[in-house]
Amino acid sequence: MKTLLFRTAAAATLAAGSLSLVSCVVDPYYGGGPYGPGYGGGPAYGPVYGGSTSIFVSTGDPRWGYDPYRYCYYDYGRRCYYDPYLYGYYPAGFLPPIVYGVPHPYGWSGHGFIPPPRNIHDGYIPNYRNRIDLLRERNYDWARNVRANQAAAVDRLHANQQDYRNRLEYNQQDYRNRLYQNQNQYRQNLQQNQNLYKQNLQNNQQEFHQRLENNQQQRQQTLDAWRASHVQNYTPAQQGYAARVQQNQQAVQQKQAAWQEKVKDARDGR
């Protein structure tokens, strides 16, 4: 019995010792960061392409942690990922896409500490979103078998489709709004033009009648003055004839006025 208890205690001690070799720290992206929720509830700093990890493997260097799901180191000082195969940093807030077929750096077996990165380059990775193409361009022996996370591809496809639908709906709504505004503006402009046309037509008609009336009055005055100047030189017979002509003209004018009055009454329905 004592032997069994001793063996059990020894096994527990060894298990605890082996666990202590893999020193793990909290992933700053998991559960959220200063800019929003982490991949427990959505991306905190950038897109998440499927898969997540809540722990970093310790490297023995307080500056570095290792993400075994993304095959990248995390620089706690710069707060961004470092790719040991592309020799460069990803932008702060961007989560490197998860790919399959990438070995752990420096032959790490997945147990215990992993060495920190070597030959560190301070620059950022150009075209960092195309990680698979960049790895293949490096001519690693294993790079030809690297493939993307299928779930991530489906997620990106769904996200692109949703984005397309959102933009299509927005464009359609914007088109309807602009069409409605243009129609209202057209109606307003048409109404204003019609009102302006009517006003101009009325003003022109009034001006025409006023000029016609002035011309008639001026003509009559000129004719009366001419007659007055010539009647003084007439003989009695001529003066009598001129008087009769004037009376006849006045009678004709009176008849014309009476006729115009009757026509006006007939039009007004009197």
pLDDT tens digit string along 58-108? Answer: 999 999 999 998 999 999 999 999 999 999 999 998 988 888 889 999 999
| Residue bearing the bigger pLDDT, 26 or 232 | 232
How far is the C-alpha of 82 from the C-alpha of 210, rounded, in Å? 92
**In a domain? residue 197:** yes
Q: Is residue 180 domain-shared with residue 122, that is, in the same domain?
A: no
**In a domain? residue 270:** no
Number of domains observed in the structure of the chain: 2
Quick one: what percent of the chain has pLDDT higher than 70?
72
Prediction pTM value: 0.41
Q: What is the mean pLDDT of residues 110-126?
A: 91
User: What is the per-residue pLDDT for 146?
Assistant: 84
Lowest mean pLDDT among 121-130, 186-195, 231-240: 231-240
Helix (H) / strand (E) containing 56: strand 55-58
When pLDDT is cut at 50, 70 and 90, the band that residue 233 belongs to is low
When pLDDT is cut at 50, 70 and 90, the band that residue 186 belongs to is very high
How far is the C-alpha of 117 from the C-alpha of 253, rounded, in Å? 119
Full domain range(s) for residue 84: 2-148
**In a domain? residue 262:** no
Residue in this structure with the two tokens 């060495």, named with its chain if needed: 115
Query: Does residue 267 register a pLDDT over 60?
Result: yes
Q: Are 26 and 55 in contact (CB under 8 A)?
A: yes
Residue in this structure with the two tokens 């427990």, named with its chain if needed: 40
Lowest mean pLDDT among 20-34, 95-109, 146-160: 20-34
Instruction: Convert 218-242 to b/e letters by CB count within 10 Å (16 or more is b).
Output: eeeeeeeeeeeeeeeeeeeeeeeee
When pLDDT is cut at 50, 70 and 90, the band that residue 234 belongs to is low
Q: Is residue 132 domain-shared with residue 38, that is, in the same domain?
A: yes
Q: Is residue 166 domain-shared with residue 177, that is, in the same domain?
A: yes
Q: Is residue 229 domain-shared with residue 201, that is, in the same domain?
A: yes
Residue 117: Cβ within 10 Å count: 21
Sign (positive or negative) of CA dihedral 235, 238, 243, 246: negative
Q: Is residue 154 domain-shared with residue 144, that is, in the same domain?
A: no
Query: Does residue 173 register a pLDDT over 50?
Result: yes
When pLDDT is cut at 50, 70 and 90, the band that residue 143 belongs to is confident
Query: Does residue 192 register a pLDDT over 50?
Result: yes
Quick one: what percent of the chain has pLDDT higher than 90?
29
User: What is the per-residue pLDDT for 270?
Assistant: 64
Q: Is residue 142 domain-shared with residue 125, that is, in the same domain?
A: yes
**In a domain? residue 266:** no
**In a domain? residue 137:** yes
How many helical (H) and strand (E) elements, i.e. helices and strands, does the chain have?
A: 4, 8
How many CA atoms lie within 13 Å of 179's alpha carbon, on the beta-carbon side? 6
| Single residue among 116, 148, 180 that ends a domain in this structure | 148
C-alpha 7, offset from chain centre: 70
| Single residue among 100, 130, 148 that ends a domain in this structure | 148
Q: How many residues does the chain have?
A: 270
Q: Is residue 122 domain-shared with residue 155, that is, in the same domain?
A: no
**3-class state of residue 116 by DSSP:** coil
Mean pLDDT for all residues in the chain: 76
Structure tokens that stand for 149 in this block:
């996370």
